Amino acid sequence: MMGVNATGPFEIGLYTTNCELIEKYIGNVTHYNENVGWIIETDIGGGYYDQTSYNKNENTYFGNLRIYSDPSYSKLLDVIVVDACSHVL
């Protein structure tokens, strides 16, 4: 997801494992460091919350699906390590 270069609102897409766009959301870049990476937090509806991150040092992306009913967001529903879709970069 090139284009993340500051904190604040950011359009993020939800894709299938075949890299087909399902839906676009407006997330919030809560952490950004050009030397380390970034974290985007997004309300994806239905009580679900997504946290997507990029670790520049390891060149890896992660996605964490959580639910709002867990106020500390400590119970992860799913952790996904993904390869970025080439056309998304």
- As a whole number of angstroms, the distance between CA 32 and CA 51 comes to 13
- Express each pLDDT in 55-78 by its tens digit: 999 988 887 777 777 666 566 555
Q: Where are the beta strands (DSSP E) in the chain?
A: 8-15, 21-33, 37-45, 48-55, 60-67, 78-82
Q: What is the pLDDT of residues 32-55, one digit of tens each?
A: 999 999 999 988 888 888 888 899
- Using alpha carbons only, give the angle 16, 76, 35 rounded to the nearest 5 degrees: 75
